[in-house]
Amino acid sequence: MTKKSIILGIETSCDETAVALVQDTGNDIPKILSNIVSSQFDIHKEFGGVVPELAARSHVEKINLIAKKAILESKININEISGVACTSGPGLIICLSVGLNFAKGIASTLKIPFIGINHLEGHALSPKLHTKLEYPYLLLLISGGHSQYLSVNGLGDYKRLGTTIDDALGEAYDKTAKILGIEFPGGPKLEEFVKRGDPNKFKLPKPILDKGGCNLSFAGLKTAILRTSKEIKNEQEKFDLAASFQKTIEEILNVKTEKAFKEFKKINTTNKYNFVVAGGVAANSGIRNKLTKISEKNNFKPIFPDLRLCGDNAAMIAMVGLEKYKVKNFDSLDLIANPRLPLDKNAKFLKGAGVEL
The DSSP 8-state label assigned to residue 244 in this structure reads H
Three-class secondary structure of residue 270 per DSSP: coil
pLDDT band at 354; cut points 50, 70, 90? very low
Kindly state the average pLDDT of the residues 183-203: 90
Closest CA relative to residue 214, chosen from 127, 134, 151: 151
Name the CATH code of domain 137-304 (choices 3.30.420.40, 3.90.1520.10, 3.40.50.2300, 1.10.10.10): 3.30.420.40
User: Residue 207: is the preceding peptide bond cis (ω within 30°)?
Assistant: no
**Cα–Cα distance, 249 to 261 (Å, whole number):** 18
Report yes or no: 269 and 153 within 8 Å, Cβ to Cβ: no
**Cα–Cα distance, 270 to 301 (Å, whole number):** 13
Report yes or no: 166 and 221 within 8 Å, Cβ to Cβ: no
DSSP 16-84: EEEEEEEE--SSSS-EEEEEEEEE-HHHHGGGTS--HHHHHHHHHHHHHHHHHHHHHHHT--GGG--EE
**Cα–Cα distance, 66 to 72 (Å, whole number):** 10
- The predicted-structure confidence for 141-178, as pLDDT tens digits, reads as follows 999 889 999 999 999 999 999 999 999 999 999 999 99
pLDDT band at 353; cut points 50, 70, 90? very low
- The predicted-structure confidence for 64-108, as pLDDT tens digits, reads as follows 999 999 999 999 999 999 999 999 999 999 999 999 999 999 999
Kindly state the average pLDDT of the residues 320-324: 98
Q: Which of 99-103, 131-135, 243-247, 250-254 has the lowest mean pLDDT?
A: 131-135
Q: How many CA atoms lie within 13 A of 48 on its CB side?
A: 10
pLDDT at 184 over 80: no
Domains 6-130+309-326 and 137-304 in one fold: yes
Rg (alpha carbons) of the chain, rounded to whole number: 20
**Cα–Cα distance, 147 to 219 (Å, whole number):** 13
The DSSP 8-state label assigned to residue 136 in this structure reads P
Mean of the per-residue pLDDT values of the chain? 93
pLDDT at 356 over 50: no
What b/e string do you get for 302-328 counting C-beta neighbours within 10 Å, with b at 16 or more? Answer: bbbbeeebbbbbbbbbbbbbbbbbeee
Locate the domains of the chain by residue range. Answer: 6-130+309-326, 137-304
pLDDT at position 185 = 73
Share of the chain above pLDDT 70, in %: 96
pLDDT band at 345; cut points 50, 70, 90? confident
- The predicted-structure confidence for 10-55, as pLDDT tens digits, reads as follows 999 999 999 999 999 988 899 999 999 998 878 887 777 889 999 9
98 residue type, one letter: V
Name the CATH code of domain 6-130+309-326 (choices 3.90.1150.10, 3.30.70.600, 3.65.10.10, 3.30.420.40): 3.30.420.40
pLDDT at position 357 = 35
Angle among Cα 107, 108, 113 to the nearest 5 degrees reads: 45
pLDDT band at 3; cut points 50, 70, 90? low
pLDDT at position 323 = 97
- For 309, residues 6+ apart whose C-beta sits below 8 A from its C-beta are 126, 127, 129, 130, 315, 316
**Cα–Cα distance, 133 to 216 (Å, whole number):** 26
Beta-strand runs (E) in the chain: 6-11, 16-23, 31-39, 83-89, 114-118, 137-142, 147-154, 157-163, 274-278, 301-303
